[in-house]
């Protein structure tokens, strides 16, 4: 391997990422293109502003600063925190709670993030100084583990929402450390109303006397009544943890109930609706609990904090207190409501009958069934991804197996940040319905059993992808202008950089399954061709009906298919769709597959 060259004589590698590691640079470029060519509707994702990313990529990532700022900084205003002329002499003269020197500016940065966070989440009737924030947790799950560490002992009972009904792994799932160390009792939503049943929660609390109750949800789209949770917790002497990981941005903007000052502890992530760096925050108004939580985070389960992320949090909280942020959060909820109503108007079932947050659930079973097999969540998410809509599979009340969820979860933060509105969400709902309603579900046989699969109409998938491409092109004036090079199955954004206007276009097909793939999709056997041979044939469409003429050349390393330019785009999309295996190939047997996958590359003008 050739070492990167540098004009510098020291041991450091100099140069941009594209110079030092072009492979990683290219992967990042592909990912950037993907994020603009598709509509990202993952409820736990958002697009961080440039200012956030700049802070994350700063020299602060070079520091190691175990510990915390001096306690005297907690009650200081932002103006006092940023008074370097006073802070730095104090640091030099007095001991702090750090294990390393050279971190005086880390004290300022962390205190600034804490103060701004306290101001952003301070409830009416309280002062920011009454809130204690830990901003060092690396993720929401880690923050919750720290809270368990601080508030409950191994074997203590914890009451939380069932994972299948919208709870989170870190709320006591048996596959998570929180479920392994504590006795977990789950409450559920009412399966008829699909709403939280506070009477059941009350009865379970009285029966099991939990040490902690968690009011937190990862896929329950309605706002809870934190006061009712508080009353139940008080009656049984339990701590109340409010996990608002998904809804923190809405909460800061006043679009969601604020549990701070009601719950003993509030936790949330910073990369979902807050659109900040990947991290988490823990808030309490109890100084004794604050000390326990700080010790649980460090040195309990973490080492040095990531100060590039903490600086980005400080900027994030500043943004969260602006009018433009609040406007965006209001629009995020409006878009989610419009999406839910759009699904309903298409005849699809929306669990919980709607939303008042940023997320919408969709019962995939309501879209299609075939021979008694319902459409399920996992395969639906895969199909929609091919159409340019990125969402995730999700369980809903009534599901019995977390590995076989029957629903989809959509989030509106990212598309709202890109400027889409209610009418656009109704268009998304229409596309989802138009694609999924053509599905033919079936059971695919595995060595260990079966798994739900489905295939959809090729025409519906292409049409859906084209409609989503229009929305993606409309959304975001800062979209990359480079050619779209991500190997997307339906590249409706732009042509390949190799493509050129010509009477005949060529595509290359390669990979281990090439011979079997071509023998299935051509009217004649390509496997009979020797290297250098050529034949004339037809590409076969659905039900093996000829789609278009094709010239096939065996190059020895791969095959070239020459197709008339007028038919090349459709033919290429069809072949890619068959390789991916989510379109119907045979109406008589929707489970019938074409061998694959294969790699398909557009070559442009075909010359022999």
- Do 358 and 411 contact (CB within 8 A), yes or no? yes
Cα(80)–Cα(603) distance, integer angstroms: 63
The burial class, CB within 10 Å (0-12 / 13-18 / 19+), for 530 is exposed
Cα(233)–Cα(289) distance, integer angstroms: 16
Instruction: From residue 90, give the alpha-carbon distance in Å to each of 87, 94, 95, 109, 234.
Output: 5, 6, 9, 16, 42
Active site residue 243: yes
Instruction: Assign 273 to helix, strand or coil.
Output: coil
Q: Classify the C-alpha dihedral 573-579-583-585 as positive or negative.
A: positive
DSSP 171: G
What residues does 268 pair with on adjacent strands?
A: 281
Cα(377)–Cα(367) distance, integer angstroms: 11
Neighbours of 478 (CB within 10 A): 9
Active-site entry in 96, 243, 264, 580: 243
* One-character DSSP codes across 33-96: HHHHHSEE--TT-----HHHHHHHTSGGGG----EE--GGGTT--HHHHT-HHHHHHHHHHS--
Active site residue 272: yes
Active site residue 178: no
Residues ≥6 apart with Cβ < 8 Å to 1 = none
Phi, psi of 463 (to 5 degrees): -60, -45
The two three-digit tokens of residue 127, written as one number: 């002062």
**Max CA pair span of the chain:** 86
Active-site entry in 181, 272, 453, 569: 272
The two three-digit tokens of residue 337, written as one number: 């409501």
Q: Classify the C-alpha dihedral 600-601-606-608 as positive or negative.
A: negative
Cα(208)–Cα(214) distance, integer angstroms: 14
Phi, psi of 172 (to 5 degrees): 120, 20
What residues does 157 pair with on adjacent strands?
A: 183
Active site residue 64: yes
What residues does 246 pair with on adjacent strands?
A: none
- Do 40 and 493 contact (CB within 8 A), yes or no? no
Cα(329)–Cα(342) distance, integer angstroms: 20
> Virtual CA dihedral for 371, 374, 378, 384, nearest 10 degrees?
90
Active site residue 426: no
- Do 155 and 182 contact (CB within 8 A), yes or no? yes
Active-site entry in 21, 54, 66, 197: 66
Residue from 399, 400, 467 nearest 38 by CA: 467
Active-site entry in 178, 269, 284, 572: 269
Phi, psi of 139 (to 5 degrees): -160, 170
* One-character DSSP codes across 103-138: -HHHHHHHHHHHHHHHHHHPPTT--GGG-EEE---S
Instruction: Assign 256 to helix, strand or coil.
Output: coil
Active-site entry in 64, 99, 198, 486: 64
- Do 220 and 407 contact (CB within 8 A), yes or no? no
* Active site amino acids: 64, 66, 243, 269, 272, 278
């Amino acid at each position: 391997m050739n070492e990167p060259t540098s004009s510098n004589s020291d041991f450091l590698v100099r140069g941009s990422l594209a110079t030092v590691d072009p492979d990683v640079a290219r992967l990042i470029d592909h990912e950037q293109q993907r994020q603009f060519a598709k509509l990202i509707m993952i409820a736990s994702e958002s697009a961080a502003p440039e200012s956030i990313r700049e802070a994350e990529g700063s020299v602060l990532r070079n520091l190691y600063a175990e510990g915390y700022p001096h306690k005297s900084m907690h009650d200081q205003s932002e103006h006092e925190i940023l008074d370097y002329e006073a802070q730095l002499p104090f640091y030099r003269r007095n001991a702090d709670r750090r294990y390393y020197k050279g971190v005086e500016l880390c004290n300022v940065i962390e205190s600034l993030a804490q103060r701004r966070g306290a101001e952003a989440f301070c409830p009416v009737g309280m002062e920011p100084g009454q809130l204690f924030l830990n901003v060092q947790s690396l993720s929401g799950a880690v923050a919750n583990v720290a809270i368990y560490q601080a508030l409950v002992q191994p074997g203590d009972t914890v009451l939380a929402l069932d994972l299948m009904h919208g709870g989170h792994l870190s709320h006591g799932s048996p596959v998570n450390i929180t479920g392994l160390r504590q006795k977990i009792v789950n409450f559920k939503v009412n399966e008829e109303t699909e709403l939280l049943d506070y009477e059941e929660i009350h009865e379970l609390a009285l029966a099991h006397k939990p040490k902690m109750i968690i009011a937190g949800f990862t896929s329950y789209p309605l706002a809870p009544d934190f006061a009712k949770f508080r009353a139940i917790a008080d009656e049984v002497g339990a701590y109340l943890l409010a996990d608002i990981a998904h809804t923190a941005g809405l909460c800061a903007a006043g679009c969601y109930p604020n549990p701070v000052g009601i719950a003993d502890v509030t936790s949330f992530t910073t990369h979902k609706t807050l659109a900040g760096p990947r991290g988490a925050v823990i808030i309490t108004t109890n100084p004794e609990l604050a000390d326990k939580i700080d010790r649980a985070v460090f040195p309990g389960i973490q080492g040095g904090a990531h100060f590039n992320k903490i600086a980005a949090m400080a900027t994030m909280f500043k943004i969260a207190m602006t009018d433009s942020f609040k406007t965006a959060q209001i629009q995020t909820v409006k878009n989610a409501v419009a999406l839910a109503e759009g699904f309903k108007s298409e005849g699809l079932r929306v669990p919980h009958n709607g939303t008042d947050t940023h997320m919408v659930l969709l019962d995939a079973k309501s879209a299609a069934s075939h021979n008694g097999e319902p459409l399920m969540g996992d395969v639906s998410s895969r199909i929609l991804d091919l159409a340019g809509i990125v969402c995730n599979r999700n369980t809903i009340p009534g599901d019995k197996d977390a590995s076989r969820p029957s629903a989809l979860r959509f989030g509106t933060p990212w598309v709202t940040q890109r400027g889409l509105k209610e009418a656009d969400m109704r268009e998304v709902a229409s596309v989802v319905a138009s694609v999924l309603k053509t599905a033919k579900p079936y059971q695919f046989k595995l060595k260990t059993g079966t798994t739900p699969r489905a295939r959809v109409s090729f025409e519906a998938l292409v049409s859906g992808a084209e409609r989503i491409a229009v929305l993606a092109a409309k959304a975001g004036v800062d979209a990359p202008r480079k050619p779209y090079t991500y190997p997307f199955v339906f590249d409706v954004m732009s042509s390949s950089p190799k493509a050129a206007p010509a009477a005949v276009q060529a595509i290359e097909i390669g990979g281990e399954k090439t011979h079997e793939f071509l023998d299935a999709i051509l009217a004649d056997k390509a496997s009979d061709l020797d290297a250098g041979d050529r034949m004339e044939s037809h590409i076969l469409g659905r039900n093996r009906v000829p789609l278009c003429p094709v010239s096939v050349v065996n190059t020895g390393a791969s095959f070239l298919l020459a197709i008339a330019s007028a038919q090349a785009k459709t033919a290429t999309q069809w072949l890619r769709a068959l390789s991916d295996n989510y379109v119907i190939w045979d109406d008589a047997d929707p489970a019938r597959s074409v061998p694959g996958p294969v790699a398909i590359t557009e070559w442009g003008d075909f010359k022999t």
